[in-house]
């Protein structure tokens, strides 16, 4: 009998989905797909980039600022109150570049957060509510450090996707989505764990860079997945929203 079944039996409870998932995605020795890199298929090595070539592209200003990590680590906290000042394009540029962008000109795949197998399954979308950009939905096109303006959903209501009222006072929602296959093609179902771990790394980057720019930030796990997927025209299966961060100028 496997461990989760034994625990469930002891507690006199059915095995939960999370216990099943945890059990069934445990790595076994020699079951990692850990062939030498020379034997990896092309699909494990090719990094994929999503682009919306038919939509208007907005170039972001060149990010310049550097910041002291020690200070921002000490100051980091979740903020749910935001000022009225719109977030500038310069700040958006820095946030996206240092948080999620291609930061190393010598290696055009490397980012400021780690990725299992360098598969980079995460995409970034913005819902701009109070920034120097027009209100609306955007996709971060990482290769050009630009934003692609997506069609705005008619009658988009924040409260349809979030229960907590404070979310509607944020200036910016950053929606992290995952294109699952980019990672699961190599790691199978265990790859789902890696994708969530990776989004935590990216989320922490956004918190810290946000703090360095005096932007308040709060992670949101409680969102209506399919409502956000509908805003972004995602099928919720191949690609789905997995994490949201709300940001705004500190009050
Ligand atoms: C995965 C995750 C999901 C979270 N979801 C929410 C949320 O839905 N609503 C909220 O107000 N805060 C949310 N938070 C923020 C936590 O409440 C917050 O990090 C925690 O209270 C610790 O406070 P601190 O971030 O100021 O240190 C989330 C944090 C994480 C890491």
81 lines ligand 1 (CB under 6 A): no
Q: Return the pLDDT at 105.
A: 72
Considering only CA atoms, which residue is closest to atom 23 of ligand 1?
78
Q: How far is the CA of 185 from the centre of ligand 1 (A)?
A: 31
Considering only CA atoms, which residue is closest to atom 19 of ligand 1?
78
200 lines ligand 1 (CB under 6 A): no
Considering only CA atoms, which residue is closest to atom 10 of ligand 1?
220
Rg over alpha carbons for the chain, rounded to the nearest Å, is 19
Q: Return the pLDDT at 229.
A: 97
Mutate to test the pocket of ligand 1, among 78, 170, 197, 200 (most ligand atoms within 8 A of CB): 78
Ligand 1 atom index nearest CA of 77 = 26
User: Within 13 Å of residue 95, how many CA atoms lie on the same side as its CB?
Assistant: 31
144 neighbors 101 (Cβ within 8 angstroms)? no
**pLDDT tens profile 68-125:** 899 999 999 999 999 999 999 999 999 999 999 998 877 778 899 999 999 999 999 9
Mutate to test the pocket of ligand 1, among 80, 163, 174, 221 (most ligand atoms within 8 A of CB): 221
Distances 138 to 51, 62, 104, 150, 244 between C-alpha atoms, Å: 11, 18, 24, 5, 14
Q: Return the pLDDT at 39.
A: 86
Backbone angles phi, psi at 249, to 5 degrees: -60, 140
Q: Return the pLDDT at 100.
A: 97
| CB neighbour list of residue 72: distance below 8 Å, 6 or more residues apart | 208, 209, 211, 212
75 lines ligand 1 (CB under 6 A): no
Backbone angles phi, psi at 244, to 5 degrees: -130, 140
Q: How far is the CA of 77 from the centre of ligand 1 (A)?
A: 9
Ligand 1 atom index nearest CA of 203 = 31
Q: Return the pLDDT at 8.
A: 66
- The residue ranges of the chain whose pLDDT is under 70 are 1, 4, 7-10, 12, 30-34, 65
Distance CA 72, CA 248 (A): 16
Q: For the chain, which residues make up each domain, given as ranges? A: 1-25, 60-249
Mutate to test the pocket of ligand 1, among 73, 220, 225, 246 (most ligand atoms within 8 A of CB): 220
Q: Return the pLDDT at 48.
A: 93
Q: How far is the CA of 219 from the centre of ligand 1 (A)?
A: 5
Q: Return the pLDDT at 175.
A: 98
Domain spanning 60-249 has what CATH number?
Answer: 3.40.109.10
179 neighbors 240 (Cβ within 8 angstroms)? no
121 neighbors 195 (Cβ within 8 angstroms)? yes
Q: Return the pLDDT at 108.
A: 75
């Amino acid at each position: 009998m496997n461990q989760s079944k034994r625990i469930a039996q002891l507690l006199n409870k059915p095995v939960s989905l999370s216990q099943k998932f945890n059990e069934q995605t445990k790595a076994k020795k020699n079951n990692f797909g850990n062939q030498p890199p020379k034997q990896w298929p092309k699909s494990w090595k090719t990094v994929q980039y999503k682009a919306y070539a038919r939509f208007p592209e907005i170039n972001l200003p060149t990010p310049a600022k550097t910041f002291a990590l020690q200070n921002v680590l000490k100051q980091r906290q979740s903020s749910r109150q935001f000022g009225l000042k719109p977030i500038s394009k310069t700040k958006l540029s820095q946030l996206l570049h240092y948080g999620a962008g291609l930061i190393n000109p010598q290696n055009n795949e490397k980012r400021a957060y780690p990725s299992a197998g360098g598969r980079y399954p995460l995409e970034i979308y913005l819902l701009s509510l109070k920034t120097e950009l027009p209100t609306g939905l955007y996709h971060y096109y990482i290769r050009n450090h630009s934003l692609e303006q997506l069609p705005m959903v008619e009658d988009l209501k924040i409260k349809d996707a979030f229960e907590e009222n404070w979310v509607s006072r944020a200036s910016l929602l950053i929606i992290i989505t995952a294109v699952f296959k980019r990672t699961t093609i190599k790691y199978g179902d265990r790859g789902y764990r890696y994708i969530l771990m990776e989004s935590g790394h990216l989320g922490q980057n956004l918190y810290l860079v946000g703090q360095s720019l005096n932007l308040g930030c709060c992670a949101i796990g409680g969102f209506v997945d399919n409502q956000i997927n509908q805003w972004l025209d995602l099928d919720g299966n191949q690609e789905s929203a997995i994490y949201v961060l709300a940001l705004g100028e500190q009050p």
